[in-house]
Protein backbone atom coordinates (compact mmCIF):
# COMPACT_ATOMS: atom_id res chain seq x y z
CA UNK A 1 0.00 0.00 0.00
CA UNK A 2 1.41 3.37 -1.00
CA UNK A 3 1.36 6.70 0.81
CA UNK A 4 0.89 8.62 -2.40
CA UNK A 5 -2.61 9.13 -3.68
CA UNK A 6 -1.76 9.62 -7.29
CA UNK A 7 1.13 10.63 -9.42
CA UNK A 8 1.18 13.00 -12.29
CA UNK A 9 3.84 13.31 -14.94
CA UNK A 10 7.35 12.40 -13.90
CA UNK A 11 6.27 10.42 -10.83
CA UNK A 12 5.53 13.50 -8.72
CA UNK A 13 2.63 13.34 -6.34
CA UNK A 14 -0.42 15.29 -7.38
CA UNK A 15 -1.47 15.76 -3.77
CA UNK A 16 1.84 17.45 -2.86
CA UNK A 17 2.43 15.24 0.19
CA UNK A 18 4.34 12.19 -0.97
CA UNK A 19 6.44 11.76 2.17
CA UNK A 20 5.10 11.34 5.66
CA UNK A 21 8.10 13.00 7.28
CA UNK A 22 8.13 16.04 5.01
CA UNK A 23 7.75 18.99 7.41
CA UNK A 24 6.57 21.30 4.63
CA UNK A 25 3.64 19.19 3.47
CA UNK A 26 1.40 19.19 6.56
CA UNK A 27 -0.26 21.91 8.56
CA UNK A 28 2.05 24.39 10.22
CA UNK A 29 1.65 25.28 13.87
CA UNK A 30 1.67 28.96 13.02
CA UNK A 31 0.63 30.82 9.93
CA UNK A 32 3.36 33.18 8.75
CA UNK A 33 0.78 35.52 7.21
CA UNK A 34 -1.41 36.05 10.27
CA UNK A 35 1.05 35.53 13.13
CA UNK A 36 3.49 38.35 12.36
CA UNK A 37 4.20 38.93 16.08
CA UNK A 38 5.84 35.51 16.22
CA UNK A 39 8.51 36.42 13.69
CA UNK A 40 9.04 40.17 14.05
CA UNK A 41 12.64 41.01 14.85
CA UNK A 42 13.71 37.37 15.13
CA UNK A 43 16.69 37.71 12.77
CA UNK A 44 18.17 40.60 14.75
CA UNK A 45 17.55 38.86 18.07
CA UNK A 46 19.05 35.71 16.66
CA UNK A 47 22.27 37.49 15.69
CA UNK A 48 22.66 39.08 19.13
CA UNK A 49 21.85 35.75 20.80
CA UNK A 50 24.56 34.11 18.69
CA UNK A 51 27.12 36.61 20.01
CA UNK A 52 26.01 35.98 23.61
CA UNK A 53 26.25 32.22 23.05
CA UNK A 54 29.75 32.59 21.60
CA UNK A 55 30.76 34.32 24.82
CA UNK A 56 29.13 31.58 26.94
CA UNK A 57 30.87 28.89 24.89
CA UNK A 58 34.26 30.60 25.09
CA UNK A 59 34.39 31.04 28.90
CA UNK A 60 35.12 27.36 29.79
CA UNK A 61 37.57 27.09 26.90
CA UNK A 62 39.50 30.18 28.03
CA UNK A 63 39.50 28.89 31.62
CA UNK A 64 40.82 25.51 30.47
CA UNK A 65 43.53 27.25 28.44
CA UNK A 66 44.58 29.34 31.43
CA UNK A 67 44.64 26.22 33.62
CA UNK A 68 46.80 24.28 31.16
CA UNK A 69 49.16 27.25 30.81
CA UNK A 70 49.61 27.54 34.57
CA UNK A 71 49.88 23.77 34.92
CA UNK A 72 52.61 23.81 32.25
CA UNK A 73 54.54 26.47 34.18
CA UNK A 74 54.30 24.47 37.42
CA UNK A 75 55.36 21.20 35.74
CA UNK A 76 58.24 22.92 33.86
CA UNK A 77 56.59 22.54 30.46
CA UNK A 78 55.27 18.99 30.73
CA UNK A 79 51.67 20.16 31.30
CA UNK A 80 51.63 22.03 28.00
CA UNK A 81 51.23 18.68 26.29
CA UNK A 82 47.58 18.91 27.33
CA UNK A 83 46.92 21.74 24.87
CA UNK A 84 45.84 19.17 22.28
CA UNK A 85 42.74 18.53 24.43
CA UNK A 86 41.41 22.08 23.90
CA UNK A 87 40.16 21.46 20.34
CA UNK A 88 38.17 18.26 21.04
CA UNK A 89 36.93 19.73 24.32
CA UNK A 90 35.58 22.80 22.50
CA UNK A 91 33.70 20.68 19.96
CA UNK A 92 32.19 18.37 22.58
CA UNK A 93 31.31 21.31 24.83
CA UNK A 94 29.55 23.18 21.97
CA UNK A 95 27.55 20.11 20.90
CA UNK A 96 26.42 19.40 24.46
CA UNK A 97 25.60 23.07 25.02
CA UNK A 98 23.36 23.30 21.96
CA UNK A 99 21.88 19.84 22.42
CA UNK A 100 20.97 20.36 26.07
CA UNK A 101 19.80 23.96 25.74
CA UNK A 102 17.80 23.64 22.51
CA UNK A 103 16.53 20.21 23.52
CA UNK A 104 15.78 21.32 27.07
CA UNK A 105 12.56 22.62 28.61
CA UNK A 106 13.08 26.19 27.35
CA UNK A 107 14.05 25.14 23.79
CA UNK A 108 16.54 28.01 23.73
CA UNK A 109 20.17 28.72 24.40
CA UNK A 110 21.15 31.24 27.07
CA UNK A 111 21.43 34.01 24.47
CA UNK A 112 18.06 33.13 22.99
CA UNK A 113 16.43 33.12 26.44
CA UNK A 114 17.89 36.56 27.22
CA UNK A 115 16.41 37.97 24.00
CA UNK A 116 13.06 36.19 24.29
CA UNK A 117 13.13 33.73 21.38
CA UNK A 118 12.97 29.96 21.27
CA UNK A 119 13.10 27.17 18.70
CA UNK A 120 10.19 24.99 17.62
CA UNK A 121 9.59 22.48 14.87
CA UNK A 122 7.34 23.57 12.03
CA UNK A 123 4.51 21.57 13.53
CA UNK A 124 4.81 23.49 16.80
CA UNK A 125 6.56 20.72 18.73
CA UNK A 126 9.51 21.14 21.06
CA UNK A 127 12.96 20.22 19.81
CA UNK A 128 14.91 17.37 21.39
CA UNK A 129 18.59 16.78 22.17
CA UNK A 130 19.55 15.25 18.82
CA UNK A 131 17.75 18.00 16.90
CA UNK A 132 19.69 20.60 18.92
CA UNK A 133 22.97 18.86 18.07
CA UNK A 134 22.01 18.56 14.40
CA UNK A 135 20.99 22.24 14.37
CA UNK A 136 24.45 23.24 15.61
CA UNK A 137 26.24 20.91 13.19
CA UNK A 138 24.14 22.02 10.23
CA UNK A 139 24.79 25.65 11.12
CA UNK A 140 28.56 25.28 11.44
CA UNK A 141 28.88 23.18 8.26
CA UNK A 142 26.68 25.52 6.24
CA UNK A 143 28.62 28.56 7.48
CA UNK A 144 31.86 26.84 6.48
CA UNK A 145 30.75 26.38 2.88
CA UNK A 146 28.06 29.01 2.22
CA UNK A 147 28.85 31.91 4.57
CA UNK A 148 26.82 34.73 3.01
CA UNK A 149 24.03 32.56 1.65
CA UNK A 150 22.97 31.15 5.02
CA UNK A 151 22.07 34.63 6.28
CA UNK A 152 20.62 35.94 3.02
CA UNK A 153 18.02 33.14 3.00
CA UNK A 154 16.51 34.59 6.21
CA UNK A 155 15.61 37.84 4.45
CA UNK A 156 13.56 36.08 1.77
CA UNK A 157 11.08 34.06 3.81
CA UNK A 158 8.36 35.26 6.14
CA UNK A 159 9.47 33.19 9.11
CA UNK A 160 13.08 34.41 9.04
CA UNK A 161 14.39 30.86 8.74
CA UNK A 162 18.02 30.42 7.84
CA UNK A 163 19.26 27.70 5.51
CA UNK A 164 19.84 25.09 8.21
CA UNK A 165 16.37 25.81 9.68
CA UNK A 166 14.78 25.06 6.33
CA UNK A 167 16.71 21.80 6.02
CA UNK A 168 15.86 20.64 9.57
CA UNK A 169 12.27 21.91 9.64
CA UNK A 170 12.73 24.28 12.59
CA UNK A 171 11.71 27.87 13.22
CA UNK A 172 12.64 30.48 15.83
CA UNK A 173 9.73 32.45 17.30
CA UNK A 174 9.26 35.19 19.87
CA UNK A 175 8.50 33.58 23.21
CA UNK A 176 6.20 36.39 24.35
CA UNK A 177 3.97 35.86 21.30
CA UNK A 178 3.46 32.16 22.05
CA UNK A 179 2.78 32.38 25.77
CA UNK A 180 -0.81 33.30 26.65
CA UNK A 181 -1.11 36.35 28.92
CA UNK A 182 -1.45 35.68 32.64
CA UNK A 183 -4.58 37.12 34.21
CA UNK A 184 -4.64 38.22 37.79
CA UNK A 185 -8.01 38.61 39.43
- pLDDT tens digits for range 122-138: 888 899 999 999 999 99
State the sign of the Cα–Cα–Cα–Cα dihedral 157, 28, 143, 104.
positive
**What DSSP string describes 44-67?**
HHHHHHHHHHHHHHHHHHHHHHHH
Single pTM value for the model: 0.79
Q: Where are the beta strands (DSSP E) in the chain?
A: 117-121, 170-174
Q: CB of 161 within 8 A of CB of 138?
A: no
CA 94 to chain centre: 12
Mean pLDDT of 38-51: 94
Q: For residue 152, what pLDDT is reported?
A: 87
Give the residues across from 13 on adjacent strands: 7
Amino acid sequence: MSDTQGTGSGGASSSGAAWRNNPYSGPYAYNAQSDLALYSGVLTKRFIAFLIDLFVLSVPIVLATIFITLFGVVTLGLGWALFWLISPFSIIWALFYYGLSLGGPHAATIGMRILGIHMETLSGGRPYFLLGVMHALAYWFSVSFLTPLIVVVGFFNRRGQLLHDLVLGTVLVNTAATVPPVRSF
